[in-house]
Structure 1
Amino acid sequence: MPANPKYLTQSKWQRFAKITAAILGGYFVSVTFHLALASWFNRADILITMAFSGFILWVALMVIAFLAKNGWKIWMVYILLSLIFFLFIYWGNL
């Protein structure tokens, strides 16, 4: 049964934004989140756990990106989250 066209994204730019936000943005948020945890807690344990929890978080962020109405807004959210986690990494390494 095909999808109802009224629910599909019509704009090619929105489709591009959602796909790139899902793949790249979700990956950046997932990695920076785990690196922020690794800078505050036991690095070896967090990085070993990242092999599984990082993938699960990445998939969840992909789903969220495709559920969003605007691909550019989800990009901004993912960039903001990555910058916040970068700050935690910076403070953890001081």
Structure 2
Amino acid sequence: MPANKKYLTKSPWIRLCRILLGTIGGYTVMLSFHVLLTEFFPKENVIATAFFTGYLLWAFLLFWAFLESKLLRLVLTYVGLTLLFSLPYLINH
């Protein structure tokens, strides 16, 4: 059964923005989260677990880009989380 047309995005530009935001924004949030973890745990352990948790976190953030109704809120959330997670690293280095 096909999707209901009233729930689909009308503009291909909005769809492209969601794909790019989910991919790039999710990747930067995922990387900054693991950089935050290296401040508290040994780097070798974080790198070993980042292979699994990194993909899961990135996939969730990519999926969330399509669930969020407003693009501006999505951008601000990704930028805010990236800055929040990378702040301890930037202060110490």
Q: Do the aligned residues in 2 keep the contact of 1:15 with 1:71 (CA within 8 Å)? A: no
RMSD over aligned Cα, in angstroms? 1.4
Q: Do the aligned residues in 2 keep the contact of 1:32 with 1:85 (CA within 8 Å)? A: yes
Task: Tell me if 1:4 matches 2:4.
Answer: yes
Amino acid across the alignment from 1:18 = R
Runs of 4 or more above 2 Å deviation: 11-14
Figure out how many residues of one structure are paired with residues of the other and give that number: 93
- Structure 1 position 69, deviation (Å): 0.7
For residues 32 and 72 of structure 2, what CA distance do their matches in structure 1 show? 20
**2:18 corresponds to:** 18
Structure 2 gaps, min length 5: none
TM-score (norm 1): 0.88
TM-score (norm 2): 0.89
Structure 1 gaps, min length 5: none
Identity %: 38
Deviations, residues 20-70 of structure 1 (Å, cap 9, x unaligned): 111110010001100111122211101111010000000111111110112
**1:64 corresponds to:** 64
- Structure 1 position 72, deviation (Å): 2.8
**1:44 corresponds to:** 44
Amino acid across the alignment from 1:62 = L
